[in-house]
C-alpha cells in the first residue's frame, strides 16, 4: 500500500498521527506569531491577547489526540503498540510542553481577568512559564517536525480510495472546528482585556 498503513487496524493510528501533525503545524504558525508579539508586547497587546485565545482551540485538539494515543498505547492496543512510542526524550518532554502551555495560557487569561492594576504575581508566573515553555517547545518542534511533515505529505498524496484518506475530510473538519472555537474564545476574551488594550496600560508604563 502507498499510504503507509499496513492493515485496516492501523487506519485509526495513522489518522490520529496525521490529525496530530496537522494540528501541530497550525499551532506552530500561531505560536510563532504569538512569540513575535512578545518582542513588543505593549505595542501589540491586542494581537497578543487575541492570539492567546485563538490558540486554545488548537491546543485542546492536540492535547486530545496525543492523550488518546498515550492511553491506547499504554492500554496495549495492538496497532498503537506496533507503531511504537515517540523517542524517550520526547515522551518525557511531552508533559512539560502540555503543562507549561496550559500555565502560559492560564496565567494569560488570569491577567485579563485581574487587569494591569493587579498583575502580580500572575505576570511573573506568566513570564516564567513562557521561559519554560519556549525551551521545551524548541526541543519538541525539532523532535517532531520531520515526522509531522511526512504525515502531512502522506495526507495529501494518499489515494482518495485508501481507507485512511476516506477520513481526511473529518480530520480537516476537526481542525477547522477547533479554529472556529478558538476565534469564538478570542472574540469573547478581547472585550474583557480592555484595560490592557485601551492604551491606558501603555501610558501607565511610561509614567
| Tens digit of each residue's pLDDT (9 = 90 or more) over 137-172 | 888 888 888 888 899 898 888 777 788 888 899 999
Residue 42 has pLDDT above 90, yes or no: no
- Report the Cα 29 to chain-centroid distance in Å: 10
pTM here?
Answer: 0.82
First-last CA distance in the chain: 67
Per-residue confidence (pLDDT) for residue 4, from 0 to 100: 47
CA distance 58 to 100: 15
The x, y and z cell numbers of residue 82, run together, are 506496533
What are the extents of the domains in the chain?
9-201
Per-residue confidence (pLDDT) for residue 1, from 0 to 100: 39
pLDDT band at 3 (very low <50, low <70, confident <90, very high): very low
Mean pLDDT, the chain, integer: 85
Q: Buried b vs exposed e over 48-68: b needs ≥16 C-beta within 10 Å?
A: bbbbbbbbbbbbebbebbbee
Amino acid at each position: 500500500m502507498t499510504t503507509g498503513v499496513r492493515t485496516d487496524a492501523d487506519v485509526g493510528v495513522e489518522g490520529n498521527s496525521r490529525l496530530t501533525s496537522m494540528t501541530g503545524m497550525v499551532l506552530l504558525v500561531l505560536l510563532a506569531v504569538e512569540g513575535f508579539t512578545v518582542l513588543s508586547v505593549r505595542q501589540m497587546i491586542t494581537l497578543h491577547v487575541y492570539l492567546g485565545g485563538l490558540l486554545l482551540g488548537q491546543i485542546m485538539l492536540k492535547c486530545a489526540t496525543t492523550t488518546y494515543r498515550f492511553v491506547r498505547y499504554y492500554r496495549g492496543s495492538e496497532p498503537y503498540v506496533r507503531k511504537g512510542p515517540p523517542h524517550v526524550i520526547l515522551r518525557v518532554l511531552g508533559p512539560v510542553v502540555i503543562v507549561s502551555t496550559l500555565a502560559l495560557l492560564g496565567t494569560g487569561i488570569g491577567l485579563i481577568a485581574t487587569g494591569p492594576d493587579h498583575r502580580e504575581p500572575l505576570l511573573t508566573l506568566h513570564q516564567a512559564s513562557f521561559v519554560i515553555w519556549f525551551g521545551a517547545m524548541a526541543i519538541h518542534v525539532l523532535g517532531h517536525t520531520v515526522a509531522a511533515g511526512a504525515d502531512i505529505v502522506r495526507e495529501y498524496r494518499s489515494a482518495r480510495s485508501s481507507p485512511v484518506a476516506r477520513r481526511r475530510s473529518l480530520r480537516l473538519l476537526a481542525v477547522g472546528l477547533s479554529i472556529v472555537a478558538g476565534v469564538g474564545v478570542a472574540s469573547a476574551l478581547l472585550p474583557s482585556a480592555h484595560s490592557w488594550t485601551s492604551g491606558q496600560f501603555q501610558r501607565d508604563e511610561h509614567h
